[in-house]
């Protein structure tokens, strides 16, 4: 019987729902799971925007963001996961450009000098229907209707991501006693993706729904921890799973996709399995 985790985040719950075996490899076996290039672009952009929004409103300009990005770069380039990408000079330039496109996306969505930022990178640690939830909210804004939960995204628009900001809204309510009025996802965009905001009003019904879903996932996780059986659930995402070499079901699934021409050319599983 494996030990119950001390806390459960939205990303941990999402990973378990996607594939319990992948969750086990990451959180129980603690196998290496390096952050990929796309996620590192997001990390860099998040850090710049966090520091930008900590400035006085009038100072939240693109020039200031550029200055922060420049200062942050040297330290970031020493990051182990970034070094593992082994990017040559040209690819590093392309990487920096992608991070800048993401940061600049903010000005397509709002004028940050006019936003009343209440907190950045707000840690949330609270019990939601008995689940020890932990999360970090990118930004909490205050406007005339109350609090708004904001999360930045650097990837493609995914409608289920709204559950993440609703869950953060539930945690803010539980932790502070104040229910946010809005939950917003800022898709910062890039050359291919148009920047956009997806948002919802926060209601008790929506909060109850996401908390119930979290609680169901938590129960299923605890059943797997008791039985020590974590079922593999092969999907096209196996192509991006760091643990593919450990997983016979995943290997079989990916090989079938490759032979039917369905495996994307940029799937890391190609090189991991020599396809």
Contact positions vs ligand SF4 (CB under 6 A): 19, 21-22, 232-234, 237-238, 241, 243-244, 247, 249-250
Query: If you search the block for the tokens 């040559």, which residue do you land on?
Result: 88
CB of 84 to ligand SF4, least distance (A): 19
- Torsion sign over Cα 141, 57, 185, 47: negative
Smaller CB separation from ligand SF4, 123 or 256 = 256
Smaller CB separation from ligand SF4, 65 or 244 = 244
Smaller CB separation from ligand SF4, 171 or 267 = 267
CA angle, residues 96, 100, 106, in degrees to nearest 5: 160
Q: In the beta sheet, which residues pair with residue 198?
A: 185
User: In sequence order, what are the residues at sequence separation of 6 or more whose Cβ sits closer than 8 angstroms to the Cβ of residue 131?
Assistant: 8, 211, 214, 215, 218
CB of 252 to ligand SF4, least distance (A): 9
CB of 273 to ligand SF4, least distance (A): 10
| The token pair that represents 185 in the structure block | 């996802």
Q: Which residue is nearest to ligand SF4 (CB)?
A: 250
CB of 222 to ligand SF4, least distance (A): 19
| The token pair that represents 119 in the structure block | 């907190």
CB of 236 to ligand SF4, least distance (A): 9
Smaller CB separation from ligand SF4, 209 or 220 = 220
Q: φ and ψ at 111, to 5 degrees? A: -100, 105
**d(Cα 33, Cα 14) in Å, to the nearest integer?**
16
Smaller CB separation from ligand SF4, 80 or 248 = 248
What is the β-pairing status of strands 182-187 and 146-153? parallel
């Amino acid at each position: 019987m494996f030990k119950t985790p001390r806390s459960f985040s939205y990303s941990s719950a999402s990973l378990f729902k996607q594939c319990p075996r992948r969750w086990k490899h990451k959180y129980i076996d603690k196998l290496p799971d390096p952050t990929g290039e796309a996620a590192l672009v997001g990390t860099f952009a998040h850090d710049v925007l966090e520091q930008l929004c900590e400035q006085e409103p009038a100072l939240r300009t693109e020039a200031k963001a550029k200055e922060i990005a420049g200062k942050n770069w040297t330290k970031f380039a020493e990051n182990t996961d970034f070094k593992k990408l082994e990017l040559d000079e040209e690819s590093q330039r392309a990487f920096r450009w992608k991070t800048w496109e993401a940061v600049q996306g903010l000005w397509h969505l709002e004028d940050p000098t006019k936003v009343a930022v209440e907190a950045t990178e707000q840690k949330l640690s609270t019990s939601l229907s008995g689940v020890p939830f932990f999360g970090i909210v990118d930004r909490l804004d205050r406007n005339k209707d109350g609090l708004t939960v904001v999360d930045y995204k650097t990837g493609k628009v995914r409608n289920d991501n709204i559950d993440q900001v609703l869950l953060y809204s539930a945690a803010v309510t539980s932790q502070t006693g104040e229910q946010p009025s809005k939950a917003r996802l800022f898709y910062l965009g890039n050359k291919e993706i148009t920047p956009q905001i997806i948002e919802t009003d926060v209601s008790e019904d929506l909060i109850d729904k996401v908390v119930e879903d979290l609680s169901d996932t938590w129960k299923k996780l605890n059943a797997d921890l008791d039985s020590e059986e974590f079922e593999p659930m092969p999907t096209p995402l196996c192509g991006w799973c760091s643990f593919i070499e450990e997983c016979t079901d995943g290997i079989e699934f990916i090989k079938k996709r490759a032979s039917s021409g369905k495996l994307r050319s940029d799937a890391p599983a190609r090189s991991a399995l020599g396809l």
